[in-house]
Structure 1
């Protein structure tokens, strides 16, 4: 930029005024620089030297001097009103941005599931003009972050919840709790089993644990080294080999605490039937086997019902409500098993994994501990319950035999306390 202003003249009052400004400790940096430009220029210093002394661009010096020449000291020191961006972000703009953040990218033809800061900024910039928000066409990513932060919106995060999709959730939960109450009544206050006459009802909690991975290591684990700061734990190579998966079908007897396993490559109806056959062989003939289980398709399939038709009155199913798997006590057993045995397990073959799972059940069953349910037990009064309305024998009405269709299970056998002589 050409140096068109060779020199300027400042009165004594101007110089006194500018020096007083420079003495202020809270003076804005831009006003400080402009006051110094005027004083230095009035002393005959060139624009280039002034820029060098103040470490600013020569264009800044020239603009300040031009404003002084046109309108005087005050004009040179301060910006004129209305300078800068006239359009501001309005409440309407903010509401529009928040509304867009609450809609998924796929609704606008994008591949992503959720908005991330950069992609959201590009999206807002691209549609702002046509949707009547021109200011947002150039809005920065940091500004959008502030808008969404103030609205407490985190559009790139997901929190999960479990929706009650079963309209009879509370009723079905109550039915399961009634069964647990019946089991509870078989123990005294110290947790010891009370002997009963004609005890021909066996209650089990059943579920599947599919997709148990058989993983092999590529080298031997290194054992911990005593008194070592770095090698005080097992060391394992990151690389591993997937050998396939197994499915565990299991039940726990809620009275004895015994855990009953069946391991398979799948968890289809045929596998479930094999498990039922295992239970049928285990418990005395003529006894009733009552199973608490979820609504998996294998449990209510035509194939399963056809098997049940061959052994009427042998099994009774009590179904947990949808999204109510936490009501099934075996879930706690699976959680314990995962922590104690499956977490971090390495095997050489699927067969080894299968053998070690069965071995775990053998270890558990050496000292079985009955699982106890406590949630809402105080609200259950068995004297007021109609057992006929809870347990159903038919799991698939279309596949049931003609005599079993729409048939409810009979009441459990009465349990009279056996008198124990001292």
Structure 2
């Protein structure tokens, strides 16, 4: 916990950007009856019944101090999906950075070995040499600022029926561009000192003789 909090409190450094990453399943829903469009004085009407079109995965990467985020929708949530998404950071998003610091929860797909299962050893080693992982502790995913961005995405973009992965990609891409252009960032206030006071129960008790 204190490791993640320390990283979140570091000043902006373009050579060592701090990126927070999280992911969530997104359900695709289709209408079974055509909605009735809104008219002056009358809201849109739609049937409560809907058709399930499966589940896809949404990856969220965000640099809070850089006021930037990237959302990608994939059909599956595997180690290879994660490795390809993380590969994008040093090679495309931050090609000039010395090292990318990545805060993410420790799902069984979020492991360095995923790179060796996805890329040749030379490429996997080169990617890992430019990444520094800072996993959140068990039951501590709230420390990951990417969860704030996923919450905003859910409220502002996903609280309606989207039937296909193509439509979902178009909608999330538009949300992504608009939020980046608006320069939305996160001012993280919870510090290590706060944790030692408010979460004192989580620390071991050391009895002095």
Q: Find the counterpart in structure 2 of residue 219 from structure 1.
A: 33
Where is the strand percentage greater, Structure 1 or Structure 2? Answer: 2
Correspondence for 2:72 among 256, 259, 262: 262
List runs of 5+ in structure 1 lacking aligned partners.
Answer: 1-172, 187-195, 381-422
Q: Find the counterpart in structure 1 of residue 88 from structure 2.
A: 278
Contact 1:269 1:301 in 2 (8 A): no
SS for the counterpart of 1:223 is coil
Offset at residue 215 of structure 1 (A): 1.1
SS for the counterpart of 2:129 is coil
Are 2:2 and 1:174 aligned? yes
Q: Find the counterpart in structure 2 of residue 413 from structure 1.
A: none
Q: Find the counterpart in structure 2 of residue 333 from structure 1.
A: 149
Correspondence for 1:321 among 129, 137, 140: 137
Q: Find the counterpart in structure 1 of residue 43 from structure 2.
A: 233
Contact 2:67 2:186 in 1 (8 A): yes
Correspondence for 2:183 among 360, 364, 368: 368
Offset at residue 174 of structure 1 (A): 1.1
**Runs of 4+, deviation exceeding 6 Å:** none
List runs of 5+ in structure 2 lacking aligned partners.
Answer: 196-209
Larger Rg: 1
Contact 1:244 1:350 in 2 (8 A): no
1:372–1:324 CA distance, 2 compared to 1 (3 A): same
SS for the counterpart of 2:53 is strand
TM value normalised by structure 1: 0.42
Q: Which has the higher contact order (CA 8 A, sep 6+)?
A: 2
TM value normalised by structure 2: 0.81
1:202-242 alpha-carbon deviations (Å, 9 max, x no partner): 111101112x1121112332234444xxxx43210123222
SS for the counterpart of 1:200 is coil
1:226–1:203 CA distance, 2 compared to 1 (3 A): same
C-alpha RMSD over aligned residues:
2.2
